[in-house]
Structure 1
Amino acid sequence: MAPLHEIAHLAHVELLTPRPEESLDFFTRIMGLTENGREGDSVYLRTFDDYQHHSLKLTAHHTSGIRRTGLRASSQEALERRVKAIEEAGLGDGWRDGDPGLGPTYLFRDPDGHEMELHWESEWYEAPPELAPSLKNQPQRYPGNGFTVRRLDHVNFLAAQVEPTTDFVRDALGAMPTEQIRLDSGVIAARWLTFSNKSYDIVYTNDWTGSRGRLHHIAFATDTREDILRAADQFLENGVFIETGPHKHAIQQTFFLYVYEPGGNRIELCNPLTRLVLAPDWRLVTWTEAERAKGQAWGLKTIESFHTHGTPPIGAAGGNGVQ
């Protein structure tokens, strides 16, 4: 099935960190995001090519993990239709006032327990004089801090069961699966889904611990592969733990680098800015266990921590997921 296009795009993520000052330094000085306000224990950060108020809400917390993922509907009518579908699935949590820059927001959870929010009304970012761009079709000037990521690209959730959770994202939210991994047992171990013409916006991967509601990683897109190579050098110089890469994924073909930010959350840099899926009758690509055992595109085997590291750590939140 083609995507409904009633969800326009992934809008923002709220990330939790037990080391807020160090995480803030990581995202601003090294990754190049711009601060755009504070509220309570949270700092709002934006990538330079985002038209909305923020791309990342960084919140101080006793543990790491993802609290909430924001999606923008494609219209008020689309928002109302998706809310109805979510409520029919029995997973709605109700309306609330949105964060800065956002209108009324509907909260809900996927079947695995990840908290999400959906909005339509959105304030378009107006850059202050020191960040005003020379070209009027850019939201702000290129800040030039660190290696400066362009935009929030995707979220990869860990899930106790991938198939029923992604079926909900497909049926209630209108996403289209583009690629998946099917084990010899028949279990779907991972599935990539898109709301738009990008090849994916959201990914679900099996949590080998059987836990629910945890995060595998959030990903930011760079302009070029060279940015990722330069980022690897800057991570090395700044003592940031590099988990794996730079390298190329077989699935979705993205050039990647994975690191842990100071709070313990896994962060991916990716390029190209995901492939485009233009075919209205896209054929779901299914990878077998044997095919995945061959490793990534250039032969690197998937490292063990890629299957075992997730946030929050098991037991850190008094149960599965984040409160």
Structure 2
Amino acid sequence: MSEPCFDVAHLGHVELLTDKFEESLNFFVNIYGLTESGRDANSVYLRAFDDYEFHTLKLTPSKTTGVGHIGYRTSSPEALERRVKVIEEMGCGIGWVDGDLGHGRAYRFTDPDGHIFELYYETNKYVAPPEEKSALKNIAQRFHGRGVGVRRLDHLNLLATNVEAIRDFMLQALGSRVTEQIMLDTGKLAGCWFTVNNKSYDIAYTQDHTGVKGRFHHVTYAVDQREEILRAADIFLENGVYIETGPHKHAVQGTFFLYVYEPAGNRVEVANAGARLILAPDWETVTWTESDRKKGQAWGLKTIPSFHTHGTPPVAEGSH
């Protein structure tokens, strides 16, 4: 076992692209319960009430849907330079950018599937205006009780044409660990769950059966309790939001889940924040077999077909 690397501190933010910008913005603010923290000429920056950074979701109008980029914060300026050196040696670097409203300069690079990532250290910590200020000193923003009222960014799931290549990439580029994985009977890796810290995972990659690169599966914000996810289902129902599957409990990683589509078609999840922590420094990857997965989710709910076919941007019929 190689020594764990903690150069990367945590998942910082996700940029989502939408071709129905106003409808998507209304969903994320008034139904999902995020708060707008700023705007620039191109995008709106959003946050959950317990996120300490300026933003965790960047919503950008586009002619298409899917993910724009994924940002991770490093543990120090020196750690950022170390990671950049490794990534440049890997030959997948794009280069330095000035950064968004939420953070300072960042180094951009691509994974083997073409998804764009960035690493940064300097960040703009959220300072709440008076109407959003919490009575508690250790919370960045008060709980406003709007919509689902999600607490914090938890993880995202990307689609990949070659999960094995992604596994090798994430271990080298970010120093991630694989906590759980799905191995098919053919010996092919169908899914990998990665962490850079003590969370059970911050990003997952699963097989894209279309063979098209660079697509997005879902982004997840956490709430505290399962009961809040049941309430979220009612909130989505009353607001005409398409519920894809759940509420139910995952077998892989054990999270209680609910999946919906926001107005542009990007998949969004609500999950419980009480998910497992990986405290063991010598954690051994849990492998789920093809027969394990055919049993369905933790309590027997079968995985619906769209979970393996729907991603954004959508793939035109016959183009793969």
Give the shorter-chain TM-score range: over 0.9
State the partner residue of 2:276: 275
Alpha-carbon distance, 1:2 to partner: 5.7
CA distance in 2: counterparts of 1:4 and 1:97, whole angstroms: 26
Q: Structure 1: any 5+ residue segments left out of the alignment?
A: none
1:291, distance to aligned residue in structure 2 (A):
0.7
Match of 1:242 in 2: 243
Q: 1:242: Cα distance to partner?
A: 0.3
- CA deviation after TM superposition for structure 1 residue 3, in Å: 3.8
Aligned twin of 2:155: 154
What residue is the counterpart of 2:108 in the other structure?
107
Which residue of structure 1 aligns with residue 285 of structure 2?
Answer: 284
Distance 2:204 2:74 in 1: 19
User: What TM-score does the superposition give when structure 2 sets the normalisation length?
Assistant: 0.97
SS state at 1:274 partner: coil
1:273 Cα offset (Å)? 3.8
Could you report, residue by residue, the CA deviation over 1:191-225 in whole angstroms, capped at 9, with x for unpaired residues?
00000100000100000001111001011101111
Determine helix, strand or coil for the equivalent of 1:230: helix
Contact 1:6 1:75 in 2 (8 A): yes
2:119 match: secondary structure: strand
Equivalent pairs, count: 318
**8 Å contact kept, 1:235–1:242:** yes
- Structure 2 gap ranges (5+): none
Q: Per the alignment, in what secondary structure is the counterpart of residue 301 of structure 2?
A: coil
- Once the two structures are TM-superposed, the CA of residue 166 in structure 1 deviates from its matched residue by 1.8
- Residue 315 of structure 1: how far off its partner (Å): 4.7
**1:33-112 correspondence to structure 2 within 5 Å:** 33-112=34-113
Within 5 Å, give how 1:222-261 maps onto structure 2.
Answer: 222-261=223-262
- SS of the equivalent of 1:257 reads strand
- Matched with 1:215 is 216
AA aligned to 2:160 is A
Q: Distance in 2 between matches of 1:154 and 1:140?
A: 21
- Distance, in Å, in 2 between the alignment partners of 1:71 and 1:198 is 14
Instruction: Give the aligned residue type for 1:213.
Output: G
Q: Which amino acid aligns with 2:197?
A: S
Contact 1:2 1:282 survives alignment (8 Å): no
Q: Which runs of 4+ in 1 moved over 4 A?
A: none
Paired AA for residue 62 in structure 1: K
Structure 1 residues 106 and 222: alpha-carbon distance in aligned structure 2, compared to 1, 3 A threshold: same
User: What residue in structure 2 maps to residue 181 of structure 1?
Assistant: 182
Q: Distance in 2 between matches of 1:87 and 1:159?
A: 22
Give the secondary-structure state (helix, strand or coil) at the position aligned to 1:125.
Answer: coil
Q: Aligned partners of 1:192 and 1:260: how far apart in 2?
A: 22
Residues of 1 paired with 2:4 and 2:67: CA distance? 25
1:268 Cα deviation (Å)? 0.7
